[in-house]
Amino acid sequence: MTDTKTFNLPDVGEGLTEAEILTWHVKPGDTVTVNQTIVEIETAKAAVELPCPYAGVITELFVAEGDVVLVGTPILTIATSGPTTTQAPGPGAARPEVAQAIGSLPTSAAPAAREAVLVGYGVKQTGTPQRRARVLAHDPHGTTAPEAGPPGEAVKPVRHGGLEIGRHAEEVLSRRAAVLAKPPVRRLAKDLHVDLSVVDPTGAGGVITRADVERTAMLTAAVSTESRPASTRTTPLMRDASTPREVRTPIKGVTKVMAEAMVASAFTAPHVTEWVEVDVTRTLDLVDRLRTRPQFEGVKVSPLLLVATGLIRAARAHPGVNATWDAAAGEIVTKNYVNLGIAAATPRGLVVPNVKDADLLDLVGLARALQDLVETARAGRTSPADMAGGTITITNVGVFGVDGGTPIINPGESAILCMGRAVAKPWVVEGEVRVRQVMQLTLSFDHRLVDGALGSQVLASVARFLEDPAVELVLG
């Protein structure tokens, strides 16, 4: 007995009302299993993989890639095998608070605990080999595999780039099906018009990385330029005649939400900004020494780790800077824990995920947490739960070669620390002028919660730590 199930776009948490369909991983006629990834969506806060709630055969897709869909809208139907079909919890069963709790589970959570929920609700599951093969076989360029007929029968033509192709496409399609690349890398390849089947992988196990795609795109562009007549080539500073004069990009998703949040913060919280220049020579020396320690093997150690440690210590010593102004309740909520936010620039816009209970982590644990947070954000996999509940934030403009700035406070928090680049400058040390590595630190704070004295104490505390972090860590 066959039954047709309709899968509506679920609420993946945080009370979000709509999402954009980024990538379909299935098409009508595909056989799917429970919790197999079927579509990738982008909400106002993050990109999320949605799993299939039923086992069966996809019969129809109601929305296309690029469509913005309201929560509760039917997006596909699945023909199931009736009572024997295994069914995961329905979309309506995932409450926002459950989704948030799931999204904050550590990566070491037992597989059985993850299998009790749908993958899309804050947790990215590790699929079976069969599921991975199906997802990897998805062609980012929009090619539809040819339908196989009886032996000896000609393969039906398929569409590719607007042209009909026949049996000769089988070899190309099989090569693309074998390509190993994560969804963000496939999306990058699509944006750069790179055919993944011709990319030489350098990642572990033959996985194609972002660098592989970018290298191939550059080589392709170089070959294309060299093949053009000299009279038609342009220098990097010249605009190509085919380049449109203007490009309009819809304001949506992460960009829209972040813009609204920043405007609300700027016009709600009275910002005060202070800055100080710090001799971070000893900080950079300690970073170099930590990189050689076996405890940090495989972990990225950067100045951000010690700046984060200094801010966490300052927030614990001065809890008034780690607070929220609750206008509705008429209360100031002081947090005795530190959920450290890190502003991260991603292809989808600025996001601010946070390390939960960062004040409970040792130096190695904090380094691992920061690395996971940044890598997840850059891959576009930050969950809504990862961005909720932050208490204080760091933004690092130094990585862009900038000395400093006046950051806007993340909504719901009372302060944000901006770290600039470290540059060689003449500095007076023990009465002598020497060349030292100097960094500018900038602290913006909500003057409703933090007065000038408290803000200055916090900034001075971070600066003092960075002047000699090894001694500060030993002395506690």
Q: Which residues are catalytic?
A: 447
Q: The domain 3-198 is classified under which CATH number: 1.10.287.70, 2.40.50.100, 2.60.120.10, 3.40.720.10?
A: 2.40.50.100
In whole angstroms, give the CA distance from residue 250 to residue 437. Answer: 42
pLDDT of residue 371: 93
If pLDDT is split at 50, 70 and 90, which confidence band does 172 have?
very low
Check pLDDT > 50 for residue 92: no
Greater pLDDT, 36 or 235: 36
Share of the chain above pLDDT 70, in %: 72
If pLDDT is split at 50, 70 and 90, which confidence band does 221 have?
low
- Total count of residues recorded for the chain: 476
Residue-range domain boundaries for the chain: 3-198, 254-475
| CATH 3.30.2010.10 is right for the domain spanning 254-475 | no
Q: Say whether 351 sits in a helix, a strand or coil.
A: strand
Buried b (16+ CB within 10 A) or exposed e, 59-83: bebebeeeeebebeeebbbbbbeee
pLDDT of residue 294: 94
> For 286-330, how does the pLDDT look when each residue is reduced to its tens digit (9 = 90+)?
999 999 999 999 999 999 999 999 999 999 999 999 999 998 888
Topology agreement, domain 3-198 and domain 254-475: no
Cβ pair 208, 196 in contact under 8 A: yes
Looking at every residue in the chain, the average pLDDT score rounds to 76
If pLDDT is split at 50, 70 and 90, which confidence band does 53 have?
confident
pLDDT of residue 48: 80
In whole angstroms, give the CA distance from residue 359 to residue 363. Answer: 10
Pick from 23-37, 164-178, 400-414: least confident: 164-178
pLDDT of residue 1: 67
Closest CA to 145 of 184, 183, 175: 175
Q: Which residues contact 402 (CB under 8 A, 6 or more apart)?
A: 420, 421
Q: State pTM to two decimals.
A: 0.56
Cβ pair 352, 393 in contact under 8 A: yes
Q: Helices in 156-209 by DSSP H: which ranges?
A: 169-177, 183-191
- Other C-beta atoms within 10 Å of 118: how many? 27
Cβ pair 420, 403 in contact under 8 A: yes
If pLDDT is split at 50, 70 and 90, which confidence band does 235 have?
low
